[in-house]
Structure 1
Amino acid sequence: MAKINSRYGKLQIDFRYKGQRCREQTKFEDTPQHRQRLKKIVERIEAEITLGTFVYRDYFPKSAKADFFDELDKKVLAARLSQSYGMNALPTMGEFVDIWLAEKKIEWRDSHRMTVITNLNSYVLPTFENKRVNDITKADILNFRSTLAKDPKRKSSPLKATTINKVMTPLRMLLNEAADRYEFTSPFRGIKSLKIQKVDVEPFTLEEVRLILANVREDFRAYYTVRFFTGMRTGEIDGLQWQYVDMERRQILVRETVVDSKLTYTKNDGAQREIHMSQPVYDAFLLQRNATRGQRFVFGSRNGTPLQHNNVTKRVWYPLLRYLGLKQRRPYQTRHTAATLWLASGESPEWIARQMGHTSTEMLFRVYSRYVPNLTRQDGSAFDRLLQQRFITDTPPHPTQKKGEEES
């Protein structure tokens, strides 16, 4: 039976799981209220252990024991499959999914893992769960993909190509891994992702930015100033902490992001970067520092937690656009706006790419460059003027014309 002990003034849980003694230190002070709260957590843990549904990492994600039990679960599952199937029979898709997810758990962020699990449970497993991995054919996969386009679960529009590709990606990874592991040819060979229609970005003009910042709620003016002039992603600015704001060097250190109300590692290594503060951004931070003195997050809620971006979008962003008579656009367009304004001002593309967290300038030119002429009026007229000045006035004589002969 689990015990609740006190160690250095903080409460500790002492229990046994799979033959191992587990002692986990908590951040709870040793008070009657905290003991009562921890007692309920312990009761839930004991119930899940009894039912066989307890996952150590769900309760103690940073514990070394979590890694130990993850590895133990993989070994037990692999041994069970080996005993059940022998050398000739391979696991079903449902069984292999359990192995695969256990192995991928250490690689993925929790939010990504939950997205994959949701797609597998909603689409892949209902179709393939009981089929052995080596019995799934290319025809099965193509037929499955065609059914996604007319998904009967959806009462409105069918799934878009982007969503279908996201559903097919874990299926491809599963079958390719199974084929490599059990030495059979992957049925996914030769199947390409669906072509996705290019979606144009819709950045705001500088005049629209000024209009928005002049009319937005005062308590969100600094927030949107930083969004418009830094190109930060929603999760990056909502998870921005004062420890990552260097006012002396005028830099924003992008190190963490908020996903599903949890602080986590940035989207990828390239997303970790230092963003230069322009003067409006620097001034916005000065004002915000006075407003949130002592708080952890630069743009946190009243109770000190990160902003809930859905609430901000619904209660502040969209009502403001309607009030100003502007086309409704997602807040992510503030990031696109920063990119187009930087390009229009003549900043180095390499510098802009670093500010955006891109590893190269390729995406920059592919996505944003068409907006530069609209913003700077450098629309080829300079080349026309060059032709008019040089090509017309300095036209060489026609080849048939004799040297020194004047044109008629």
Structure 2
Amino acid sequence: MATIRERSGRLIADFRYMGIRCRETTNLEDNAYNRRVLKKRLEQLEAEIVLGTFDYEKYFPKSKRIDEFKQKKHQQIAVQTNVPLFKDFTQVWFSQKKIEWRSSYQDKITIIMKNYLIPAFGNQVMSKIKKSDLLNFRASLAKVTHGKNQTSLKASRINQIMTPLRMILNDAAERYEFESPYKNINNLKESKVEVHPFSLEQVQLILQTVRDDFKPYYTIRFFTGMRTSEIDGLRWENVNLQRREIYVREALVNGQLGGTKTYGSNRTIQMSDRVFQAFLQQKSLNHGKSEFVFCNRSGDPLDYRLVNRRVWHPLLRFLGFKTRPAYQTRHTAATLWLSAGENPEWIARQLGHSTTEMLFRVYSRYVPNITRQDGSAFEAMLNKLNQEGVAS
């Protein structure tokens, strides 16, 4: 039975909840009136405990024991329903799924679970998570700031965080036979891919100016469209100079060599003569020094962060070019090929795209000869048809 005690002139509620003795100090001064008020309040509290409707936070919003009892309550529900807590199921789910992913993606999911998902849902029973909880969580992510400039998370990053949450909830719903709360929650609309390719004249100037030991590196980047992780992880065994082919089978991510970004990224790139000559030059620079085509003095693969800081960005500043990521070399290759009139299907294969859709969706505005917006090409075709009709 709940009792009332006094300490330093304040009234203390003394009661038992979930088998634990609780003593919570109130703001009520010790007098007869306040004792009567607190007594009625404790009677209501005990009734709610019996009925199973007691909410510790509602009665004692500043208590240090709120999280403790929330966790115990969730654990009790988990035992009663035989449905695990989010944090427990997530561990099992991750251990079973990680075999499908390369190590870099495993690390990415681990960070998301540790920094976002477990803190938000860890002590909740999987089947008790509601759609409103998910929407509130997503809304809270939009308010998170990061970096030196304290910028908000972009829609793309929020979608990346929500994706494993969706996978976890849907998997649990299937295993424990409850309806997933993630139903009808769509991804946030993301901004278009930022494409700022270099012109052919700018590429020529960059290759003329860059230090000699990096000329082959950037020549190959600009004229193959290889991703940073692909060229940094390229080994000589995957370069066939006789057939003039590059076999993209691996990628270097966070210093670890693994599979490529997607299965479609595994591809064979045809070398142009300029690329072939760049490989010959690079071979003369580090022949026998390393298994990697591009390496540092120790023979280890390049660290793209170091290369960007010491070579790429200083070079752009020196030339007075707008700063942009080195990844724009890939976009440059695509736009130059398209503007030259190369077959889009061939370009897609070179870049590791499964279809040509992304080419035209991302790059079309940089290719005026292919994507006309004035209708003149169609008008010219109709005029030609009319002229042939008159002639006949």
TM-score (norm 1): 0.72
The equivalent residue for 2:316 is 321
Q: 2:224 aligns with which of 215, 227, 230?
A: 230
Taking the TM superposition and a 5 Å limit, the aligned residue runs for 1:157-176 are 157-176=151-170
Q: Supply the AA of the counterpart residue of 1:340.
A: T
Deviation at 1:373, TM superposition (A): 0.8
Q: 2:138 aligns with which of 136, 145, 153?
A: 145
Q: Cα deviation per residue 1:204-262 (whole Å; 9 max; x = unaligned)?
A: 11011001001001100000000000000001000111111111111011111101111
> Distance in 2 between the 1:152 and 1:202 partners?
26
Contact 2:78 2:125 in 1 (8 A): no
Contact 2:224 2:350 in 1 (8 A): yes
Q: Supply the AA of the counterpart residue of 2:193.
A: V
Q: What is the Cα-based RMSD across aligned positions, in Å?
A: 2.6
Structure 2: tracts of 5 or more residues without a match: 1-76
The equivalent residue for 1:348 is 343
Deviation at 1:105, TM superposition (A): 1.9
1:132 matches 2:128: no
Q: Cα deviation per residue 1:255-298 (whole Å; 9 max; x = unaligned)?
A: 11101111101112211111011111011011101111102111
1:274 matches 2:268: yes
Taking the TM superposition and a 5 Å limit, the aligned residue runs for 1:2-401 are 88-151=81-144, 156-294=150-288, 295-373=290-368, 383=377, 386=380
Q: Cα deviation per residue 1:174-222 (whole Å; 9 max; x = unaligned)?
A: 1100000000000000111111121331111101100100100110000
> Distance in 1 between the 2:270 and 2:384 partners?
42
Sort the Cα spacing of 1:378 and 1:176 in 2 relative to 1 into closer, same or farther, 3 A: closer
Deviation at 1:389, TM superposition (A): 6.4
The equivalent residue for 1:76 is none
After alignment, is 376-385 or 295-304 more displaced? Answer: 376-385
Q: Supply the AA of the counterpart residue of 1:120.
A: M
Structure 1: tracts of 5 or more residues without a match: 1-83, 397-408
> Distance in 1 between the 2:380 and 2:168 partners?
59
Percentage of identical aligned residues: 51
> Distance in 1 between the 2:183 and 2:247 partners?
42
> Distance in 2 between the 1:289 and 1:91 partners?
57
> Distance in 1 between the 2:194 and 2:305 partners?
23
Sort the Cα spacing of 1:152 and 1:200 in 2 relative to 1 into closer, same or farther, 3 A: closer
> Distance in 2 between the 1:113 and 1:385 partners?
54
Sort the Cα spacing of 1:98 and 1:287 in 2 relative to 1 into closer, same or farther, 3 A: same
Deviation at 1:388, TM superposition (A): 10
Q: Supply the AA of the counterpart residue of 2:161.
A: V
Secondary structure of the structure 2 residue equivalent to 1:307: coil
Give 1 or 2 for the bigger CA radius of gyration: 2
Q: Cα deviation per residue 1:320-365 (whole Å; 9 max; x = unaligned)?
A: 0010011111100000111111111111111111100011111111
Secondary structure of the structure 2 residue equivalent to 1:130: coil
Q: Cα deviation per residue 1:31-68 (whole Å; 9 max; x = unaligned)?
A: xxxxxxxxxxxxxxxxxxxxxxxxxxxxxxxxxxxxxx
Deviation at 1:87, TM superposition (A): 7.2
> Distance in 2 between the 1:377 and 1:141 partners?
42
- The alignment of Structure 1 onto Structure 2 pairs a total of residues equal to 314
Contact 2:230 2:248 in 1 (8 A): yes
> Distance in 2 between the 1:236 and 1:394 partners?
52
Sort the Cα spacing of 1:168 and 1:377 in 2 relative to 1 into closer, same or farther, 3 A: closer
Sort the Cα spacing of 1:251 and 1:380 in 2 relative to 1 into closer, same or farther, 3 A: farther
> Distance in 2 between the 1:90 and 1:385 partners?
66
Deviation at 1:107, TM superposition (A): 1.0
Secondary structure of the structure 2 residue equivalent to 1:373: coil
> Distance in 2 between the 1:124 and 1:162 partners?
17
TM-score (norm 2): 0.75
Secondary structure of the structure 2 residue equivalent to 1:193: coil
